[in-house]
Amino acid sequence: MELGSLGGGQYRALASRNTVRIERDAVTTFRVAHEVTHVWQKRHYLMPAAFLGAPCLRQPDWNCTPTEAHADAVGEAAVLAGCGPGDFGWPNAEVTGCALPNPLEVHP
């Protein structure tokens, strides 16, 4: 698992091509959307060109890459849309029925 820092707190989260893992006490809409975006990036081999050189919204500078900037932007869009972890299929989480952000339509 990868160790990172968001907002001053430590968390553990990992996204592979098929799986998202987040520690139970660290599950938030932002983190689920962020990690699900990494799955989307890996499955589709896509990352919008607009994120080349874009700043990250939450990742620390040492971990800011175009893929992280894109995942941060999708995570923020999900929070702003009023989504919850359940909207992304997270187990035992409420589904709000929000309009999920399309990763290709989110911009820096």
- C-beta separation of 74 from 16 below 8 A: no
Give the pair of three-digit tokens for residue 42: 């890996």
What is residue 61's predicted lDDT score, i.e. its pLDDT? 92
Rounded to 5°, the CA angle 78-103-97 comes to: 40
pTM of the model: 0.84
pLDDT of residue 5: 43
Give the C-alpha separation, 72 to 89, whole Å: 19
User: What averages of pLDDT result for each successive group of 10 residues across the chain (108 residues)?
Assistant: 44 73 88 93 86 94 94 97 96 95 94
pLDDT at 10: 53
Q: Find, among 31, 34, 69, the residue nearest to 50 by Cα.
A: 69
Which amino acid appears at position 100 of this protein?
Answer: L
C-alpha to C-alpha distance for 2 and 13, rounded to whole angstroms? 6
pLDDT in the model for residue 36: 93
